[in-house]
């Protein structure tokens, strides 16, 4: 049986399992669950940092929480909205930068109105990125990815397991729900040889496993048959991209990481205790490749420098 699809009004609490289309994005990031919920981004922080860091970044736990609105993400945010067809309302301004007080005030006013104000040159660059992305996706045979009529953008998954609520946001969910797509923009290389191991480094394995977990609860008929794609695009010309399919090995690691994050989350929620780093002194250790490189250099040195040569002194 297919899960019931729900549409919520802004500010309404999620009170049951559901796949939510057209859910207000700001409401999603404010966490609309009945109790503070675990998202994939908070799970990453629990794994990579500490429970205290997760508390600090959670909109429902930290009473002084403020969302990060750094302008360095403008091009990526605009490209994301244009490709997916959802996201922040965007307005533009003709200026070289944000140095003037008047321009900063205008940006702040737009933000209060729920709009993202960006420099016109950055908007133009984002449009070029999206045009290049569509050309490359079509050329790779993915003609329906991020295309109207074939799926939906920024789909929210909300589900409950025992006392714990979860939420996840899928950039693009096709109508058949047999795959999910996420779009990443970066200044780093997206060449195939450089990006194959990035899922584990950037937490895409956790994100994919989180989507999988939610979809398997909400759409159990398709459990075990889904494929998870990440489209990674460079934010500078020629705006090259690579399409990454998350392997079963990465998904397995992602599932294990999520299980650990859930265990820590539940214990911290139950105790209302969010510790930071442990107070013990950390003993340094060389990375394997660092030690190997030095041993190679040491051996090379011994071979090339004659024992009877004076080194001065």
DSSP 171-209: EEEETT-SEEEEEEEESS---HHHHTTHHHHHTHHHHHH
- Nearest by Cα to 166 from 68, 3, 19: 19
pLDDT of the residue at 102? 79
**Higher per-residue pLDDT: 115 or 271:** 271
**Domain total for the chain?**
1
pLDDT over 50 (residue 240)? yes
Per-residue pLDDT tens digits for 293-305 = 888 888 887 776 6
Q: Would residue 57 count as lying in a domain?
A: yes
Asked, for residue 285, whether it belongs to a domain, the answer is no
User: Residue 215 domain-assigned?
Assistant: yes
Confidence band, pLDDT 50/70/90 cuts, at residue 42: very high
The tokens for 203 are: 């937490």
Report pLDDT for 3: 38
Q: Looking at residue 124, what is its pLDDT? A: 87
For residue 284, being part of any structural domain is answered with: no
pLDDT digits (tens, 9 = 90+) for 121-141: 888 889 999 999 999 999 999
**Tally of residues, the chain:** 313
Per DSSP, which regions of 8-150 are E strands? Answer: 18-20, 89-93, 115-119
User: Which pLDDT belongs to residue 26?
Assistant: 84
CA distance 176 to 169: 17
Domain membership of residue 292 (yes or no) is no
pLDDT digits (tens, 9 = 90+) for 188-218: 999 999 999 899 989 999 999 999 999 999 9
Give 106's pLDDT tier (boundaries 50, 70, 90).
confident
CA angle at residue 89 from 99 to 11, to 5 degrees?
115
Rounded to two decimals, the pTM is 0.84
Residue 312: inside a domain: no
The rounded distance, in Å, linking the Cα atoms of 62 and 36 is 11
Residues of the chain with pLDDT > 70, as a percent, come to 89
Give the residue numbers spanning the domain of 34. 5-271
C-beta of residue 2 within 8 angstroms of C-beta of residue 219 = yes
Q: How confident is the model at residue 38 (pLDDT cuts 50, 70, 90)?
A: very high
Q: Tell me, what CATH number does 96's domain have?
A: 3.90.320.10
Mean pLDDT of all residues belonging to the chain: 87
219 in any annotated domain: yes
Higher pLDDT: 117 or 277? It is 277
Listed residue (174, 182, 170, 134) closest to 151, CA to CA:
174
- Say if 254 falls within a structural domain: yes
DSSP classification of residue 145: T
Per-residue pLDDT tens over the stretch 134-177: 999 999 999 999 999 999 999 999 999 999 999 999 999 999 99
């Amino acid at each position: 049986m297919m899960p019931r699809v729900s549409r919520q009004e802004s500010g309404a609490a999620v009170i049951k399992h559901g796949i939510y289309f057209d859910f207000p994005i700001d409401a999603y990031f404010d966490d609309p669950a009945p109790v503070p919920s675990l998202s994939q981004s908070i799970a990453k922080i629990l794994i990579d940092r500490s429970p205290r860091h997760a508390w600090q970044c959670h909109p429902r736990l930290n009473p002084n929480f403020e969302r990060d609105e750094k302008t360095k993400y403008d091009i990526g945010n605009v490209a994301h909205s244009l490709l997916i067809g959802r996201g922040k309302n965007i307005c533009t301004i003709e200026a070289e930068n944000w140095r003037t007080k008047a321009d900063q005030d205008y940006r702040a006013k737009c933000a209060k109105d729920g709009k993202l104000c960006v420099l016109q040159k950055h908007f133009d660059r984002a449009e070029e990125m999206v045009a290049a992305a569509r050309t490359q996706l079509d050329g790779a045979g993915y003609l329906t990815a991020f295309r109207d009529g074939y799926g939906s953008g920024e789909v929210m998954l909300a589900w409950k397991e025992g006392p714990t609520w979860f939420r996840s946001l899928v950039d693009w969910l096709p109508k058949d729900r047999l795959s999910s797509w996420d779009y990443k923009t970066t200044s780093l290389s997206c060449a195939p040889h450089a990006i194959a191991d990035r899922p584990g480094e950037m937490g895409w394995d956790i994100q994919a496993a989180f989507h999988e977990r939610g979809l398997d609860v909400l759409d159990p008929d398709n459990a075990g048959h889904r494929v998870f794609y990440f489209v990674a695009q460079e934010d500078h010309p020629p705006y090259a991209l690579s399409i990454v399919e998350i392997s079963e090995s990465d998904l397995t690691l992602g599932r294990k990481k999520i299980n650990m994050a859930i265990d820590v989350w539940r214990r911290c929620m139950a105790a209302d205790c969010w510790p930071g780093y442990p107070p013990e002194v950390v003993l340094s250790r060389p990375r394997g490749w660092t030690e190997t490189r030095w041993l190679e250099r040491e051996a090379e040195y011994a071979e090339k420098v004659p024992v009877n040569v004076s080194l001065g002194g």
